[in-house]
Amino acid sequence: MSGSTLVTNIGELVTNDPSLGDGPLGLRRHAAVVIDNGRVAWIGDARTAPAADTVLDADGRAALPGFVDSHAHLVFAGDRAAEFGARMAGEAYTGGGIRTTVAATRAAGDDELRANVARLRGEALRQGTTTIEIKSGYGLSVADEARSLRIAREFTDETTFLGAHVVPAGRDPDDYVAEVCGEMLGACTPYAKWVDVFCERGAFDGEQSRAVLEAGRAAGLGLRVHANQLDEGPGVRLAVELGAASADHCTHLSDSDVAALAGGDTVATLLPGAEFSTRSPYPDARRLLDAGATVALATDCNPGSSYTSSMPFCVALAVREMRMTPAEALWAATVGGARALRRDDVGVLRVGARADLLLLDAPSYLHLAYRPGVPLVSTVLLNGVPL
């Protein structure tokens, strides 16, 4: 869009910049934002706002930075509704269903995969997700992983190579890890920014995970880890030791895991949609926050353990089920996600930041948790452009 836009009469503005307003959310009342060239150009009081080419009247509604969903598995085919049904009737989640999705994904054409990503990306965007990370991990062959990442790259720069999701059926684990670290990594690196590994009993152990992460790092990728989802294990400690941007899940943590997260620069990314959909105990967000760890919230959108694309739903779960305050949960879903992707241009509204801004059909961000399940995101500006 050419020309500047003034968003005015914002009843409550969340900036996430404490120098711009009250508390960690940098809250301001009666605010206005000017957007130029896809960036925030001015923030201040609505009564003193400069003129702009276009005016968007927020009419007293709340405005906030777009959500940053730092963990999503969108490249897949089929669904696993029957597996979900069985779980809700008492079966346990083991991650074994990943192989069902791998078979469906390999059998799908590029256009089918692309259409599925577009559908889920659209859902997320309409619910306010303006930055999204997308992983591979349902191809698990050189060609299918590279294809998944090539398609993911059409939708986001935040792409993650997750060839080490599980060992595919019929493969020797050590042989497979060698392929992931060699030929598969080579084929995927051109389309990937990050490497990830599912470090868990039944997936990859500490040594295998270290090999994958070190190979990814040597190829120039940043590190992320699926860690401590189903059990306490080496994942979190490995993530912190290797300086990963994020350890994701963090559901089962020892005191030393919590201390490591609090002392390092690895973000603890919590994925409450997974606990909701696997009917499992939620991660202890309070323990992490009280220890001083940086916490992010993300959807983990995938057909097995968490088939939601909704960041507002995750915020509501975090508040109700994980004892996060509404302010902590909103922070984690915006700037927390940005930290987990090592980005400082998103998740905040300050001069120079990307103009990713949401208006809620509500007077305050508190309504995101107070009115769960209600589609409150009424306007989404992505790079300054209304959807």
Where do contacts with ligand NIG occur on this chain (CB under 6 A)?
A: 95, 97-98, 101, 198, 226, 229, 274, 300, 302-306
Return the number of the residue (75 or 376) whose C-beta is nearest Fe ion: 75
Return the number of the residue (222 or 326) whose C-beta is nearest Fe ion: 222
The b/e string for 290-301 (b: 16+ C-beta within 10 A; e otherwise) is ebebbbbbbbbb
DSSP 352-386: TSB--EEEESSSSTTHHHHSTT---EEEEEETTEE
Binder of residue 229, out of Fe ion, ligand NIG, none (CB less than 5 to 8 A by kind): ligand NIG
Task: With residue 16 as reference, give the H or E element that holds it.
Answer: none
Binder of residue 145, out of ligand NIG, Fe ion, none (CB less than 5 to 8 A by kind): none
Return the number of the residue (9 or 246) whose C-beta is nearest Fe ion: 246
Q: What minimum distance in Å lies between the beta carbon of 73 and ligand NIG?
A: 6
Return the number of the residue (303 or 384) whose C-beta is nearest ligand NIG: 303
Return the number of the residue (75 or 359) whose C-beta is nearest ligand NIG: 75
Q: Which residue has the tokens 């998740």?
A: 347
Q: What are phi and psi of 304, to 5 degrees?
A: -100, -65
**Which residues form the interface with Fe ion (CB under 5 A)?**
300
Rounded to whole angstroms, how far apart are CA atoms 277 and 127? 19
Q: What are phi and psi of 168, to 5 degrees?
A: -65, 155
Q: What minimum distance in Å lies between the beta carbon of 300 and Fe ion?
A: 4
Contact 283/83 with Cβ under 8 angstroms?
A: no
Q: What minimum distance in Å lies between the beta carbon of 223 and ligand NIG?
A: 16
Task: With residue 28 as reference, give the H or E element that holds it.
Answer: strand 27-36
Return the number of the residue (84 or 365) whose C-beta is nearest ligand NIG: 84
Q: What minimum distance in Å lies between the beta carbon of 271 and Fe ion?
A: 7
Q: Which of 315, 198, 301, 314 is nearest to 248 (CA)?
A: 198
Binder of residue 139, out of Fe ion, ligand NIG, none (CB less than 5 to 8 A by kind): none
Binder of residue 97, out of ligand NIG, Fe ion, none (CB less than 5 to 8 A by kind): ligand NIG
Q: What minimum distance in Å lies between the beta carbon of 302 and ligand NIG?
A: 4
Binder of residue 204, out of ligand NIG, Fe ion, none (CB less than 5 to 8 A by kind): none
Q: What minimum distance in Å lies between the beta carbon of 95 and Fe ion?
A: 10
Binder of residue 211, out of ligand NIG, Fe ion, none (CB less than 5 to 8 A by kind): none
The b/e string for 125-161 (b: 16+ C-beta within 10 A; e otherwise) is bebbbbbbbbbbbbbbbbebbbbbbbbbbebbebbbb
